[in-house]
Amino acid sequence: MAGVLRQYQGDSLYLAAFAVCLVLLYWKERKQGGSTGKKALAAAALSVVFVFNEIAYQIVGKITNAATYYRFFWMLPVLFLIAYELTEAFFDGRRHRRALGVIAFLVCLGFGANLFFLNRANLNLPKNMYGLDPNVISIADAMMDDWYGTGGEESQKEQPRAAFDIYLEYQVRTYEPRILWAISRNAYLYQAQHGYDFKKYVHQQHMIAAVNEGLKENQQALRRSLDKNGVDYLVIRTEFAMDSYLSEISITPVTQSEDYTLYRVKTAKNRNRERKDLGG
């Protein structure tokens, strides 16, 4: 259980706040002669039995995806109790409590300068409010600019499909949800466990091999993989030096961030059009 708690609390104070709220609730209700405190402790015990343990982690993981979605299930008892107790503590009808609640809220905004709508310079929405990797912002902005400039007109699709590693995927979907990840999550997890056997997810694993490790083994297989999955862009670490390898299958660089290169994948339709133009 300790391992599950460490994995999902990260560097947050959610569990500390959860424990403080449990103690406050129990103390307050016991002082007033109520039974809510006992119910809160019972709820905490049930949370430990049914949520904060490896068995629940494995069960939920089989139904959905333990590595990604279990944290939402895990946060339910934590967030609800914190919200209940803090709301009741500060907004119980007494003005000085409301004032304390407002002050506490403003203090939180002040300390979280770049994480909220209020920052030290002005009142607006910070560009990097989620503290994302700068590579994510550079690549996502460049992709959308290119998409609406040339790519979108050529492909006639509403949203670009891109293949990139899972490190970027977790953050890109937060920053720019219009970008669709072209790699199947199941294929990515299968590769992580079994390696590149190119059997079960053959049309996915060539893409994964390219974006994960910069493997240069079979250009045409990679090209077929990109075409089959309707990929418009590739994002690969610059250190892999894929420019010349990809240029031979009509994949050209658009821009670079600090660590990644964004490539445009020319569609089969546009490649055929270019061949006709050259022939004419």
Q: Summarize pLDDT for 177-192 with one digit per residue, the tens.
A: 899 999 988 888 888 8
pLDDT tens readout for residues 91-148? 766 777 778 777 777 776 666 544 444 444 545 555 676 678 999 999 999 999 999 8
Overall average pLDDT of the 24-50 stretch: 70
In a domain, 122, yes or no: no
| Higher-pLDDT residue of 271, 190 | 190
- Partners of 181 in the β-ladder: 162
Range scoring the smallest mean pLDDT among 168-177, 238-247, 256-265: 168-177
Q: What is the mean pLDDT of the chain?
A: 76
In a domain, 126, yes or no: no
Do 168 and 200 fall into the same domain? yes
Q: Which amino acid is residue 226, in one-letter code?
A: L
The secondary structure of residue 149, as a DSSP letter, is I
Cβ contacts of 151 within 8 Å, gap of 6 or more: 160, 232, 233, 264
Of 58, 79, 111, the one marking the end of a domain is 111
Separation CA 195–CA 184 (nearest Å): 15
Do 79 and 198 fall into the same domain? no
Cα distances (Å, whole numbers) of residue 55 to 60, 132, 190: 9, 32, 22
In a domain, 157, yes or no: yes
Do 150 and 71 fall into the same domain? no
Among residues 218, 210, 151, the alpha carbon closest in space to that of 178 is found at 151
Q: Is the alpha carbon torsion for 102, 104, 105, 107 positive or negative?
A: positive
Do 104 and 48 fall into the same domain? yes
Do 101 and 138 fall into the same domain? no
Angle of helix 54-63 versus helix 2-9 axis, rounded to 10: 60
Do 86 and 188 fall into the same domain? no
In a domain, 123, yes or no: no
Domain holding 81, by residue range, is 2-111
| Higher-pLDDT residue of 267, 236 | 236
